Amino acid sequence: MITDSPRSDPLEKSVLDNLITAVLLFDNDLCLEYINPAAEMMFQVTSRHVIGQKVGTLMPWSRSAMEQRLRDVFKSHHPFTEREVIIPLSGDRTIKVNCTVLPLHHSDAPTEALVELCQVDRQLRITREEHLISQHQATQALIRGLAHEIKNPLGGLRGAAQLLEGELPSSSLREYTRIIIDEADRLQNLMDRMLGPNHIPKEQSINIHQVLEHVRGLLLAENAAGPVIIRDYDPSIPDLKADPDRLIQAMLNLCRNAVAAAGPRGRVELRTRVLRQFTIGNRRHRLVLRVTVDDNGEGIAPDLLDRIFLPMVSGYRGGTGLGLPIAQELINQHGGLIECESRPGKTQFFVYLPLESSHD
């Protein structure tokens, strides 16, 4: 066993513990001898519970295939790689891995087999996230530039219309200046929403469930007829350093969309989990909080899915298309990221937030 055996020197253990690749070690009875944290994370198990288990118990979805792979390696003494193996996870999520099985020799015949599972869709996810972040930064820069150009002359226009209003003799003429003033105010509000909050963030230590319960209360008050809002919280999640108002706003924007999509007879689920050694964009974090907002509405059209985080993109008539870009900006300010997966009947927004440190 690598954890307790004499050959497990601290360096060996710290290297294995920090690998992103999932590593498992089986003896020649196909019982698990060692599992590293990346593999624990992948299978959602703790080593304490699974050491000594047969490979078929640990990976019931691949019982015969995995047993066969290991037996072949013990028999042939040759390593073996199978690409793009699909592994089902809890819920109905799957991941794609490249699976390598290596015989370990301490004498003539191999006594142990090392299984390495390298997630291939993870690389794709990181690339997609980097794209999402750079797209978001470019949009924010454009909005700031535009807002600056629009807000100054708009203030002048509004002021001039107000002065003119005071000089006009008849109320029918004043209707025109009213239109100018009202439209200028509408544009000003739109610009302010696009720019997001302009006060300094008030970071404090908060529990994500306080935020979600507050949002849930608001949603229930706004939508007495439904949908049902289910909670699946992990109560062990530690507090995070964040601005509660910003988190509430971001979650509310996601949840309002979900509630609208699910409709009064639908279902919305709020789920919280902790992920270990997780990468957001290109930064790896020891602990990350994932909040999932899940609805069973009709889903997001594929042509819209790539653009939903851009401002003014809306699938609803009368929607301003600002809810998601604002939520993305607020979560980015906390070092996090929002991602989306959607198909008819299941739309999921994943909010990732690092738990270990505060961010500007």
Site residues for Mg ion per CB under 5 A = 257, 323
The answer to whether residue 308 forms part of the interface with ligand ATP (CB under 6 A) is yes
Strands 110-119 and 228-232: unpaired
Q: Peptide bond preceding 37: is omega within 30 degrees of 0, i.e. cis?
A: no
Q: Do residues 2 and 35 make contact, with C-beta atoms less than 8 angstroms apart?
A: no
User: Judged by CB under 6 A, does residue 215 bind ligand ATP?
Assistant: no
Quick check: helix, strand or coil at residue 197?
Answer: coil
Q: Which is nearer to ligand ATP, 28 or 320 (CB)?
A: 320
Q: Which does 314 bind (CB under 5 to 8 A by kind): ligand ATP, Mg ion, none?
A: ligand ATP
Separation between Cα atoms, residue 72 and residue 98, nearest integer Å = 17
Query: What count of other Cβ atoms lies within 10 Å of the Cβ of residue 7?
Result: 8
- Rule CB under 6 A: say whether 316 interacts with ligand ATP: yes
Question: Using CB distances below 5 to 8 A depending on partner kind, what does residue 3 bind out of Mg ion, ligand ATP, none?
Answer: none
Q: Which two tokens stand for residue 119?
A: 């997630």
The size of the interface with ligand ATP (CB under 6 A), counted in residues, is 21
Choosing from 347, 353, 354, 355, the residue that interacts with ligand ATP (CB under 6 A) is: 347
Q: Considering the complex, what minimum distance in angstroms separates the CB of residue 297 from ligand ATP? A: 5
- Minimum distance of Mg ion from residue 259's CB (angstroms): 10
Q: Minimum distance between the CB of residue 301 and Mg ion, rounded to whole angstroms?
A: 15
Taking the least distance from each CB to Mg ion, the nearer of 197 and 321 is 321
> What DSSP state is assigned to residue 168?
-
Q: Whose Cβ is closer to ligand ATP: residue 38's or residue 330's?
A: 330
- The residue within the footprint of ligand ATP, chosen from 87, 324, 338, 355 (CB under 6 A), is 324
Rounded Cα distance between 119 and 43, Å, is 12
Report the partner that residue 321 touches, choosing among ligand ATP, Mg ion, none (CB closer than 5 to 8 A by kind).
ligand ATP
For residue 247, the one-letter residue type is L
Interacting stretch for ligand ATP, rule CB under 6 A, among 70-78, 99-107, 270-278, 297-305? 297-305
Instruction: Indicate whether 266 belongs to the interface with ligand ATP (CB under 6 A).
Output: no
The backbone torsions φ and ψ at residue 19, rounded to the nearest 5 degrees and listed phi first, read -70, 145
Which residue in the set 156, 319, 344, 345 belongs to the binding site for ligand ATP (CB under 6 A)? 319
Q: Determine the 3-state secondary structure of 260 from DSSP.
A: helix
The least distance separating ligand ATP from the CB of residue 230, rounded to whole angstroms, comes to 15
Q: Which stretch binds ligand ATP (CB under 6 A): 113-121, 167-175, 236-244, 292-300?
A: 292-300
Euclidean distance between CA atoms 144 and 302, whole angstroms: 29
Burial class (CB in 10 A: 0-12, 13-18, 19+), 72: middle
Burial of 74 (0-12, 13-18, 19+ CB in 10 A): buried
The H or E element spanning position 240 is: strand 240-242
Residues that bind ligand ATP (CB under 6 A): 253, 257-258, 261, 295, 297, 299-300, 304, 308, 313-316, 319-324, 347
